[in-house]
Amino acid sequence: MQSSNLISVAVIDTGADPERVNAAHLLPGLNLSDEGDRNETIDYGTHGTAIAQTILQIAPEVRIVPIKIVNRQGILRNLEAMSIAFEWILEHHDRLNIRVVCAAIADITCSESDEYYAEHPLRPLISQLRNSQVATVAAAGNGYAHHHRQGMAFPAILREVISVGAIAQTPAGLQLANHSQRLHPSTGTGCHTTFFVEPGAPGDTSGAAATVAGRLAKLAQSQTTINEWIDQLEQSCQIVRDEDGLEWEII
């Protein structure tokens, strides 16, 4: 049974600081990091708090469910924490009315396909949530300048995820941010970067993912399905071309 009609966003990150995020917007979450006890989701860094702040700036009516899987240094000690986090969300999403999951974190990989992750335990969990109209948003990754090729980090590469890259203002207008990883549909792998957007705090593709999570949470208050939310965002998109002439949808 749902505890409230208010929409909730689960933020998988470093936690949330109740002194910087209005405690009235925070619900009890879960701590899977190496800091504090299992019920302590205080952010001793800044990343998760900034993500929550960006979401609330866009959708001030929603609540935040912090799920802490990395410590203040951004280190993931428990490699199973991500899957455990999604198992917990799947179990509690109806009670907490979680409609969006924001995983604004990424590893250092650059994959063009999710084939390698075909048997990863995260995939069926995200798929089940999506079938329950709970959207998962993830950052495409910030390693484009290092990899110098198309691809996305994990978990954004999973096709069940709404993946988000970053754009930047340049003298020539809006362009894909130099650091933002990206994957074009023309690669034919079945995976691609869903949206690009100018990031909120904490910047980069993390802040871009938080911005899209906030937009989706706002849409979830009046519309029913993930496909409807995506359609609404696509209607506001414009097209930019990169240096290779490829067209990308930006919000």
Q: pLDDT of 162-177, one tens digit each?
A: 999 999 999 988 999 9
| Whole-number pLDDT of residue 37 | 80
25 is annotated as an active-site residue? no
Coil, helix or strand for 25?
helix
Question: Is 1 domain-assigned?
Answer: no
Give the orientation angle of helix 204-220 with respect to helix 47-58, to 10 degrees.
40
Question: Is 123 domain-assigned?
Answer: yes
- Residue 4: pLDDT band (50, 70, 90) is low
Check 8, 163, 180, 206 and give the catalytic one.
206
206 is annotated as an active-site residue? yes
Check 47, 92, 93, 192 and give the catalytic one.
47
Question: Is 195 domain-assigned?
Answer: yes
Question: Is 3 domain-assigned?
Answer: no
Q: pLDDT of 203-219, one tens digit each?
A: 999 999 999 999 999 99
Question: Is 242 domain-assigned?
Answer: yes
**What CATH number does residue 13 fall under?**
3.40.50.200
DSSP for 174-240?
EEE-TT--B--GGG-SS----EEE---TT-HHHHHHHHHHHHHHHHHTT---HHHHHHHHHHT-EEE
Question: Is 2 domain-assigned?
Answer: no
Question: Is 62 domain-assigned?
Answer: yes
| Residue 233 CB partners (closer than 8 Å, separation 6+) | 195, 212, 215, 216, 219, 251
192 is annotated as an active-site residue? no
What is the β-pairing status of strands 135-139 and 195-197? unpaired
- Residue 2: pLDDT band (50, 70, 90) is very low
Question: Is 47 domain-assigned?
Answer: yes
Say if residues 21 and 49 touch (Cβ distance below 8 Å).
yes
Check 8, 13, 92, 163 and give the catalytic one.
13
- pTM of the predicted model as reported, rounded to 2 decimal places: 0.95
| Whole-number pLDDT of residue 243 | 85
Structural domain of 235: 8-250
Q: pLDDT of 82-120, one tens digit each?
A: 999 999 999 999 999 999 999 999 999 999 999 999 999
Q: How many domains would you assign to the chain?
A: 1
